[in-house]
Amino acid sequence: AIQVTQSPSSLSASVGDRVTITCRTSQGVRDDLSWYLQRPGRAPKLLIYSASTLQSGVPSRFRGSGSGTEFALTISNLQPEDFGTYFCLQDNIYPYTFGPGTKLEIK
């Protein structure tokens, strides 16, 4: 199975900041990578698919980039509702595999 790593595992930021989370896969997955936000006690929510396409209804302050084995999620102008755990998912080759998550906390 394709291994997925994320960095950092956690970070603290303030409202209004810009942060970047990276995701790496053990083999190339083209642009078949999606990003999810999970708030505590809630189900994950799709933010970005196909590496850089914004899911309907997701604010434009979220931006995805990358292809192959290296990907990034950048969030600009952090808002209170953006805090939680971010997961990437390689959805190119079965079995799909998630990254271990990046916990974004309020500073």
Partner 1 sequence: QVHLQESGPGLVRPSETLSLTCSVSGDSISSTVSGGYYWSWVRQPPGKGLEWIGYIHYSGGTNFSPSLKSRLTMSVDTSNNRFSLKLTSLTAADTAVYYCGRGHCITTNCPLDSWGQGTLVTVSS
Interface contacts to partner 1, rule CB under 8 A? 1, 30, 32, 34, 36, 42-46, 49-50, 55, 87, 89, 91-92, 94-101
Cα separation, 53 vs 12, whole angstroms = 26
* Cβ–Cβ under 8 Å, residues 15 and 79: yes
Closest separation between CB of residue 93 and partner 1, Å? Answer: 9
Q: Which is nearer to partner 1, 17 or 69 (CB)?
A: 69
Q: Which two tokens stand for residue 9?
A: 């595992």
- Cα distances from 104 to residues 81, 82, 99, in angstroms, run 11, 8, 15
Closest separation between CB of residue 61 and partner 1, Å? Answer: 20
Q: Which is nearer to partner 1, 17 or 72 (CB)?
A: 72
DSSP 3-state of 36: strand
Closest separation between CB of residue 94 and partner 1, Å? Answer: 5
* Cβ–Cβ under 8 Å, residues 104 and 19: yes
Closest separation between CB of residue 60 and partner 1, Å? Answer: 18
